[in-house]
Structure 1
């Protein structure tokens, strides 16, 4: 049977009429070349593009966590920005020394502060998880929306911890004796500043987070989460502990958000409360819808699209029609980007329900099953 399928009419064929064979190691070679390209980019790109890439990496990590919650399990969360704030400010408090500005800081080693900040975000998700385990749909979305308002109130008023309206500086990461700040490090005659050094940290975190999430989705936990999303009652009848899985994935999603918050703070070098509002949560929902619900690669694609769009519009606003600096009569780049990815969300919902990655997957399947020329 397998021989018939391998040599059937629908299989790709060579010019001689026999079945086409893939070159061994072609896929591995492509991925190796892509990885080498990513590793070499800090040697060639300027600071703007590196920072844009780092913002996109941080967004992708947070989007992966939200996709585990919303895409794979079907739980709507509007409070993702709250857990990013917990990670970002948690790192600042744990790693900062306070100084003479009246801010609280524990002065822990920065690498330890980063780990504890991620765990702190997970603990915040754990405190909310009993609610997340019992609510679903719009009810959970409304409940998580309350976290945004609570978080904004704390960020603006707990000045000893957060710095209030002005925010607080972010201590640079220090790992294995290397400081990820603007202190110059020369590699192959190329000066490496904070953005160049953090580029490799962001790549490592994004790769590790993507592989872990992919393992979760492809294993037994992922099948249980999908069963809960598709038919909660049937999943419970089959023995899946629905409330426990919902609570666990909420904690895991919160930890991803905390990790994204830490990386975002390191790139910004200063945290301000205005960034962690309802708009950020809506942007994360747009990321996973545009990229593809329930897909790790979809979360990454959507995050890069939504994160890079406003920065590109800002960069090239002078050359684009209708887009201009605020107060000059045109549309501000940030506002224009929200219009565009809002339109993209509508287009995906109406015409591409699987997101961008589903389109790419269908295209690859069509190419793979295109019949060869018959003699």
Structure 2
């Protein structure tokens, strides 16, 4: 059933959020903008993994490999040594390169599932890390390579022009990359939601729920599972490009198994198969260690970086915390933060029972379908007017 509310009322929160995000660089310092940049890059990659694991039901532990393909692909294509292509062209080709890597692995993803697919993708991480360390001419080896800045139409997303100011605010690399990250994340958000709402999303959900039933309905199971792997790899490649631009230097040790586990934590905490949930989980997992590092001297049992001692470091402490968050989510909210938010909205929309004169009963709201959930979960907001019915019965009793 379509939403009867006016378009402005339905899109109002989204527009306000977009305006708020666009205004943040004028008020936040570089540290908070870096957190936002890393979170947006992580959200792009988490949305891709959510499509693969949450919607298509395929376990992948190799997401870090495809992020590395996107990051190093951009660095090599746009830098020296390398073809030295325009950075915008290198960005597109790096995303396509990550998709091609996913396409080469897609025959395995189309025929293997469950823990077996997880082990197969795990091999990609170790293989990729070995290649990054040994292919010095392309990757720079252990020390990595510096990242060429992105340039679009003569505008450079770096501090090449320190005199640039907008409304009295100096715009450095973080401020410029902030709007680039917003644009890339907006493209990811709308394309992923459109995919979930369309026929591909319904087909992937059917494959996840029952491959036999999906095949009976005419869904080519192997083809859709392979396509999901390719699309997820392309999102990961785009996230890798944005990460490389944000870090300004890429090193092999960043793209390790721990990064793949972090991405699994993002989609589990946020909610499997949900674009908004993957975004919320990415912000939580990405921002927590950075915040704990900055405020380590004010937190109990957490040692400041480089101080040593018997206390745990902020990175380890953050992993313990979101590990505990995963356990709590799995026990009390298996659908993640997005499911909690959806149930909270349903409670707020539910109208209380009102006792009125005869002939006036409580109204029940229409069923609404959450567009962010591929399986089409619905929530009924109606109530039953039992008190009013009893009152009318007493009036007609002789």
User: What is the TM-score with the length of structure 2 in the denominator?
Assistant: 0.86
Any idea what SS the aligned residue of 1:133 has?
helix
Asked if 1:371 corresponds to 2:352, the answer is: yes
Equivalent residue for 2:131? 154
1:35 shift after superposition: 1.4
1:323 shift after superposition: 1.1
Which of 204, 215, 240 is 2:194 aligned to?
Answer: 215
Asked if 1:353 corresponds to 2:334, the answer is: yes
In 2: Cα distance, 1:230 partner to 1:29 partner:
34
Equivalent residue for 1:66? 49
What are the equivalent positions in structure 2 for 1:42-191 lying under 5 Å apart?
42-98=25-81, 105-183=82-160, 184=162, 185-191=164-170
Which of 288, 303, 325 is 2:282 aligned to?
Answer: 303
Asked if 1:236 corresponds to 2:215, the answer is: yes
In 2: Cα distance, 1:197 partner to 1:43 partner:
11
Structure 2 unaligned residues grouped into runs of 5+: 357-398
In 1: Cα distance, 2:171 partner to 2:6 partner:
39
Equivalent residue for 2:318? 337
1:292 shift after superposition: 0.2
Which of 9, 19, 22 is 1:39 aligned to?
Answer: 22
The structure showing larger relative contact order (alpha-carbon pairs under 8 Å, at least 6 residues apart) is 1
1:324 shift after superposition: 1.5
User: What is the TM-score with the length of structure 1 in the denominator?
Assistant: 0.91
In 2: Cα distance, 1:31 partner to 1:359 partner:
19
Q: 1:151 to 1:364 in 2, by over 3 A?
A: same
1:28 shift after superposition: 3.0
Residues 224-249 of structure 1: CA deviation (Å, up to 9, x unaligned): 00000000111112210000000001
Structure 1 unaligned residues grouped into runs of 5+: 3-20, 99-104
In 2: Cα distance, 1:306 partner to 1:212 partner:
23
Residues 113-133 of structure 1: CA deviation (Å, up to 9, x unaligned): 000000000000000000000
Count of equivalent residues: 350
In 2: Cα distance, 1:23 partner to 1:72 partner:
30
Q: Which has the larger radius of gyration?
A: 2
